[in-house]
């Protein structure tokens, strides 16, 4: 398969919170993977992409989506939302529960069957190359330890939000989180008020006791716990803290600042919690990055890491890093035409949405030119002969 040299890069955001910006202006891609990072003179390849000074970042990971089946959301009667997300720079979407499926089963057999079917279906279905990591059962009271073991053996890797179903009391929550972990499922717990009528209020004490891998939408999905309770959750847990687009923006900034003061921004992960009542936002992850950078004065490299390498670290994935050997999931971005800022980092600090000029998944240009959803990037990469 072709070798591709990408040269003329401006900022290279690695996605790794330990070293968020790399000292490089070229990336070599080989067989869909990153084979080298350095200076243009270090590499040669038959195909060249001239980046013209724009920035590159890893394909973003949305830590919190609610797919149903296919590229359709019954919640919003919308087709093509996953492809729209790829145009927003999100190339990996992680299910927090196939919760919007009409008639979603709640019995043991039905919950397991749905999870396994969704995992299999999305493994075979990649709209615009997107990796949709689905098959996240919503914990229901009937499920037993043996059911979790069966799910793990069947290849299910994610547990939908604890609290979306009938499991809500502390002892039961702890059991389900423990059984999921024993079975190799990565888990998350709903935090805050009910999402929609029929789901549950999950208070700080239960969220802390669960010890799930991810505290989902600590800033509300969409209703947040009060700030005093958020301090308890951050102090009382030791794993990932998720901030979402479809939550309370004031508390998104509050929690980011808490983690920054603790020196634990490595715990911060970003998602959209979409599709939801608030809508589907193809640029939701980018908008959250822009909020944290501009109003929260967070370094853009750290904000991007919270939506890429940090998600993959807490989720046990390999996507989300610009590093040798990783999949070449690359998003080329720049300041938007007519906006403030000379490059993508300045634009984010000034509250703009950057323009995306190309998206690659596994080294293939799935969005070959300007995104249909972002404002136009000032500089876009060009494929040379």
Of the pair 59, 221, the CB lying nearest Zn ion is at 221
147 near Zn ion (CB under 5 A): no
Taking the complex as a whole, the smallest distance from the CB of residue 194 to Zn ion amounts, in Å, to: 9
Residues 370 and 87 sit within 8 Å (Cβ to Cβ): no
Nearer to Zn ion, 246 or 374 (CB): 246
Stretch that binds Zn ion, among 108-116, 176-184, 190-198, 285-293 (CB under 5 A): 190-198
- Quote the least distance from Cβ 190 to Zn ion, whole Å: 4
Smallest gap from Cβ 248 to Zn ion, in A, equals 13
How many CB atoms are closer than 10 A to CB 117?
14
Q: Residue 57 or residue 240: which is nearer to Zn ion going by CB?
A: 240
Please state, in angstroms and as integers, the Cα–Cα distance from residue 55 to each residue in 79, 283, 357, 370, following that order. 30, 17, 10, 14
Nearer to Zn ion, 160 or 320 (CB): 160
Instruction: State which of positions 34-73 bind Zn ion (CB under 5 A).
Output: none
**Helix (H) or strand (E) segment spanning residue 172:** helix 170-182
Q: What is the rounded CA–CA span in Å between residue 228 and residue 222?
A: 17
Contacts of range 192-198, beta carbons closer than 8 Å, 24 or more positions apart: 192/217, 192/218, 192/219, 192/220, 192/221, 192/223, 192/224, 192/225, 192/247, 193/220, 193/222, 193/223, 193/224, 193/225, 194/223, 195/164, 195/221, 195/222, 195/276, 195/277, 196/277
Q: Is 242 in the site for Zn ion (CB under 5 A)?
A: no
Q: Among 114, 129, 123, 117, which residue's Cα sits nearest to residue 83? A: 129
For residues 191 and 185, what is the distance between their CA atoms, to the nearest angstrom? 19
SS3 317: coil
**Cα dihedral 7, 9, 14, 18 in deg (nearest 10):** 120
Q: Which two tokens stand for residue 80?
A: 């093509």
CB nearer to Zn ion: pick between 89 and 221: 221
Closest distance of CB 346 from Zn ion, Å: 34
Indicate which single residue of 20, 58, 139, 221 sits in contact with Zn ion (rule: CB under 5 A).
221
- Contacting range for Zn ion; rule: CB under 5 A; set: 117-125, 144-152, 161-169, 299-307: 161-169
Closer to Zn ion at the Cβ: 221 or 275?
A: 221
CB of residue 199 to Zn ion, shortest distance in Å: 7
Q: Considering beta carbons, is residue 271 or 381 the nearer one to Zn ion?
A: 271
In eight-state DSSP terms, residue 363 is: T
Least distance from Zn ion to the Cβ atom of residue 165, Å: 11
Q: How far is the CB of 163 from Zn ion (least distance, A)?
A: 7
Distance CA 190, CA 176 (A): 13
Q: How far apart are CA 317 and CA 322, in angstroms?
A: 13
Nearer to Zn ion, 7 or 190 (CB): 190
- Of the pair 226, 277, the CB lying nearest Zn ion is at 277
Q: Which of 16, 25, 147, 161 binds Zn ion (CB under 5 A)?
A: 161
d(CA 139, CA 168): 9
Nearer of residues 161 and 175 to Zn ion, judged by Cβ: 161
Q: Which residue stretch of 218-226, 332-340, 342-350, 356-364 sits at the interface with Zn ion (rule: CB under 5 A)?
A: 218-226
Among 168, 190, 245, 315, binds Zn ion (CB under 5 A): 190
The one segment of 68-76, 131-139, 156-164, 244-252 that binds Zn ion by CB under 5 A: 156-164
Q: Least separation, in Å, of the C-beta of 216 and Zn ion?
A: 5
In the DSSP assignment, the letter for residue 158 is E
Stretch that binds Zn ion, among 101-109, 154-162, 180-188, 289-297 (CB under 5 A): 154-162
For residue 72, CA distances in Å to 66, 87, 121, 251 come to: 11, 16, 13, 30
Number of residues that bind Zn ion (CB under 5 A): 3
Residues forming the site for Zn ion (CB under 5 A)? 161, 190, 221
């Amino acid at each position: 398969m072709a070798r591709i040299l990408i040269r003329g890069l401006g900022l290279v955001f690695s996605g790794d919170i330990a070293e968020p910006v790399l000292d490089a202006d070229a990336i070599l891609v080989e067989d869909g993977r990153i084979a080298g990072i350095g200076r243009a003179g270090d590499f040669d390849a038959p195909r060249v992409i001239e980046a013209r000074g724009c920035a590159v970042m890893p394909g973003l990971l949305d830590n919190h989506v609610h797919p149903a089946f296919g590229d359709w959301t019954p919640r919003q009667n919308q087709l093509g939302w996953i492809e729209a997300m790829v145009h927003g720079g999100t190339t990996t979407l992680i299910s927090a529960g196939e919760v919007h499926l009409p008639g979603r089963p709640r019995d043991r057999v039905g919950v397991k069957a749905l999870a396994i079917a969704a995992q299999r279906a999305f493994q075979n279905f990649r709209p615009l190359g997107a990796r949709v990591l689905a098959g996240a059962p919503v914990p229901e009271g009937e499920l037993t330890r043996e059911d979790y073991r069966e799910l793990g053996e069947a290849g299910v890797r994610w547990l939908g939000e604890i609290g979306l179903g009938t499991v809500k009391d502390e002892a039961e929550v702890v059991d389900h989180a423990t059984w999921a972990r024993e079975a190799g499922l990565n888990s998350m717990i709903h935090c805050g008020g009910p999402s929609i009528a029929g789901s549950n209020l999950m208070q700080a004490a239960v969220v802390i006791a669960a010890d799930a891998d991810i505290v989902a939408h600590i800033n509300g999905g969409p209703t947040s716990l009060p700030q005093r309770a958020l301090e308890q959750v951050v102090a009382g847990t030791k794993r990932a803290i998720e901030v979402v687009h479809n939550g309370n923006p004031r508390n998104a900034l509050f929690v980011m600042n808490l983690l920054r003061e603790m020196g634990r921004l490595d715990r911060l992960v970003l998602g959209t919690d979409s599709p939801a009542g608030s809508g589907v936002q193809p640029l939701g992850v980018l908008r959250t990055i822009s909020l944290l950078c501009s109003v929260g004065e967070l370094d853009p490299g750290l904000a991007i890491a919270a939506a890429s390498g940090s998600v993959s670290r807490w989720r046990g994935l390999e996507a989300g890093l610009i590093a040798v050997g990783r999949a070449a999931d690359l998003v080329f971005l720049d300041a938007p035409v007519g906006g403030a800022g000379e490059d993508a980092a300045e634009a984010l600090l000034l509250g703009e949405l950057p323009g995306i000029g190309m998206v690659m998944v596994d080294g293939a240009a799935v969005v070959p030119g300007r995104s249909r959803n972002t404002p136009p990037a000032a500089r876009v990469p060009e494929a040379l002969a």
